[in-house]
Structure 1
């Protein structure tokens, strides 16, 4: 674990792999910290300099007052990359991490070598659905939404076959800062990059779990179709969190894309 301050705010991050290897940054989803990437980072770090971090309002990073915007998260990522000396890097972004990746590819494409967008879209959910979730967390904390979120994160097979893992990831959600969760929901509520992503020129692969109830495969596929030259792949037997439920399949797909484009 490592900590650094960016614009006065504490950021928790970790890197693994050879420091002289090409870099890839893994950006996690709403309500998770960078531990969701452990299996993926371990596999990629044989050949890549892998950086993971807790985005603002999550994990052990600080929780600045909300609301947040996607541009805030993108600025945080660029500042961390600058601090670590990453002039160019590949990015794998999950859910809101994928929105951050899309925003970065539009704003600073010269910083990216390759982009993997996992279980994400240029617009996720509706203003009404996010406002309802925000209200529920403000009333009852993260416990008020934990069970419905688990249904969306993981497939029924995961629920029945890996109950201890399910309980652990539910605990991980409950331990996220509620204020940071709400402020991130506000960013998701207001984000819509649909009209812009046709301008992405970074080599892109979109992937989706076939059982994802948060960003269904058709939504992810539609995003890929809007991005020039983007590929699309389905991860079978997987919900919204492939780095936990199907890490080997995610590594195979993302690793192939990174090998083809990410070393530039």
Structure 2
């Protein structure tokens, strides 16, 4: 990893940026925040999002951990070569993204880390914990699903509104799926709501299509019993993007997993309810 320090003021955690090169030539953009001597925490964001997904939450976590993020293929500053899109190239999948995550940990010199993963990132983390158990210390899975026949999918009406040809309808649908009406009102309406979780606007249509395939193609239900990392599964009870029953399914399938459900939370519950959720994550990651 070629990393350089960045000015961050006298009180903010220090930040570094760097790269991890993959066999197909892809250069994954890496962001590291917090003390380099602290325990490592890998943060994995949702579908069609860069590391900016974590901007509102990372500061608190970086006081205790060296937090590590990277921009998924097709997002942020990650650089793709033509080979990554070429016919015959490995299809994008949670398995491929998990290998990317393992490469990032190696690149920053932390081949093992705790993992806090949300939405599609939770699917990637499942693959990482199953196929590369040596890389995962403790595991937090939020607003995600096991995939396959054990997954409970969103309703047809939600799918229809997300696919609307009207961009305003799509945006309002996304905001309503992530946040409660009280949250929207607190920001003065839809135009004022933070959009950190609502997608990377720099993505190409092809990259968005591939990210959708990564999420929809995930199926770990039959292998979740192989996870050996201590696991906390969290979900917002009112999540209709990824219904909360998926959390119970995962917790039943992962040996010894703990389950935490948050009343009033939607798909972005870990952001909207961060005053309750983040301390719960901290307690789990630091308990021994």
TM-score bucket of the superposed structures, by smaller chain: 0.7 to 0.9
The alpha-carbon deviation at position 141 of structure 1 amounts to: 10
Q: Which residue of 1 aligns with 2:229?
A: 202
Structure 2 CA distance for aligned equivalents of residues 2 and 142 of structure 1: 33
Deviations 1:148-184 (A, max 9, x none): 3222222222223223442644875544333222101
Q: Which residue of 1 aligns with 2:97?
A: 73
Deviations 1:89-123 (A, max 9, x none): 00001011001111111111111110000000111
Q: Is the 8 A contact 1:57 1:177 kept in 2?
A: yes
Change (3 A) 1:223 1:5: closer
The 5-angstrom pairing of residues 181-260 of structure 1 reads: 181-260=208-287
Structure 2 CA distance for aligned equivalents of residues 90 and 18 of structure 1: 15
Q: Which residue of 2 aligns with 1:62?
A: 79
| Higher mean C-alpha displacement, 162-171 vs 39-48 | 162-171
Change (3 A) 1:30 1:143: farther
Query: Does residue 161 of the first structure (1) align with residue 186 of the second (2)?
Result: yes
* TM-score, normalising length: structure 2: 0.79
Q: Is the 8 A contact 1:4 1:10 kept in 2?
A: yes
Query: Does residue 41 of the first structure (1) align with residue 66 of the second (2)?
Result: no
How many residues are paired up? 256
Q: Which residue of 2 aligns with 1:94?
A: 118
Deviations 1:26-68 (A, max 9, x none): 0000132222212322111112111122211222323543841
| Higher mean C-alpha displacement, 63-72 vs 181-190 | 63-72
Q: Could you list the runs of 5+ residues in structure 1 that have no partner in the other structure?
A: none
Higher Cα Rg, which structure: 2
Structure with a larger share of its residues in helix: 1
Deviations 1:181-203 (A, max 9, x none): 21011122221111111221110
Q: Which residue of 2 aligns with 1:119?
A: 143
Change (3 A) 1:189 1:144: farther
Deviations 1:201-255 (A, max 9, x none): 1100000112211122222122111111100112233211234322222211111
Task: Find 2:173's aligned residue among 131, 140, 148.
Answer: 148
Please state whether the residue corresponding to 1:13 is helix, strand or coil. strand
| Larger RCO, structures 1/2 (Cα 8 Å, 6+ apart) | 1
Q: Which residue of 2 aligns with 1:25?
A: 42
State the Cα RMSD in Å.
Answer: 2.8
Change (3 A) 1:168 1:41: closer
